[in-house]
Amino acid sequence: MANKEETRKKILEESLKEGTRSRFGYFSFAPPLCIADDSVDKKTPKRDMEKPIVLNFKANPPKQGMGPDAFFSLPASLAVGDKYEDPSRKERRYQLEKNKLIKSDAPFRPSGCTKEPPSKFEYIPVGPAARSKPPRLDDGSVPTGPRNFVTSPSKRGGNGVLTPGVLFSPYPEHLAEPYGVTKQLTSKDSKVAREKMPDQPFKGMSHGGKPFSEDKEIYHLDANGVRQARPASSPNRATHHDRPFYPSNPPRKGLQSTLNKFPEYIPQGASSRARNASAAAGKDLAAWRPNHGGNLSKPDPSVACSLRNLKQDKPAAFAFAARC
């Protein structure tokens, strides 16, 4: 073990010297990080031979697969106790019981052709009917029925080719329409309206300046200018006019409109503040000081300031500390 430690220190000193030399195009080359690493070494713990070996609890490895011994418990079938029966199961059960009754291995063969007794009726062959000659009259002519309705074939046309007689009604005659027909009709109507007007416009005899209703109608004045009494309102006025509905007991409004009585107002005093006993006695209090000395860490330190990177960049600066 001592030889390994001496070899490890020797290799570490050599790597520090080699780190300051320029290699592979660099001014300085960092040594590998695996130097002086003893994690790969096999370390066998020493056991006291005098103490007895006490074994821990052991268990069998878990079983694998889909066998019945691989489960803690097997689930029961959902069809247990179900009264549903497949309709085709009865037919399969009947065929199975029927096949059990067959003792012979030979397949079933039907008997021969069944013989039927001869028919009591005469045989009449069925075939195409023989064409008989039509009956004739005494003069030798063949009698026929009345003549059927006869119609002429439908006429063809359309798609710009209008053959005479294709349409149910005759083709409409072309009527010329002038361009300014709307203006002509408007001028004709205005001319007829001007002819009906008199030669001179209507002139009234009143100079105007009067209201639409006279004062007699508004103030109920008689012929002598005396105001008449207003007619009394009828008692059944509500029955003749539509008025909005007003309930007999309208709901209350405001703060007192609740079902229970409004709670009594209780004034709330100013909140009491607890004062420090020393301040109340007039003593001087010490100034507040933070719980740190001002050495706060930076939340985002630079990677170049890491101790590991500094050792790789400048190993000679930390060589003295490694020797000590």
Q: Is 176 left (phi over 0), alpha (psi -120 to 50) or beta?
A: beta
- pLDDT for the residue 107: 74
DSSP 8-state code for residue 12: H
Angle CA(312)–CA(314)–CA(317) in degrees, nearest 5? 125
DSSP string, 258-306: SSSPPPPP----PPP----HHHHHTPPPPPP--SS-S-PPPSS--GGG-
Q: 10 Å Cβ neighbour count for 315? A: 20
Contact 34, 45 (CB under 8 A): no
Contact 71, 63 (CB under 8 A): no
Tens digit of each residue's pLDDT (9 = 90 or more) over 102-146: 777 777 777 778 788 888 888 887 777 667 777 788 888 888 878
DSSP string, 17-69: HHHTS-BTTBSS-PPPTTTT--SSS--PPP--TTSPP-PPP--PPPP-SSSGG
Amino acid in position 78: L
Tens digit of each residue's pLDDT (9 = 90 or more) over 156-165: 776 556 666 6
- pLDDT for the residue 283: 67
2 Cα distance to chain centroid = 75
Q: What is the Cα–Cα distance from 216 to 228, expressed in whole angstroms? A: 10
Consecutive 10-residue averages of pLDDT for the chain (324 residues) = 76 75 68 65 71 82 82 82 84 88 76 80 76 78 83 72 70 81 92 88 80 83 79 57 74 78 78 63 72 74 82 80 60
Contact 249, 255 (CB under 8 A): no
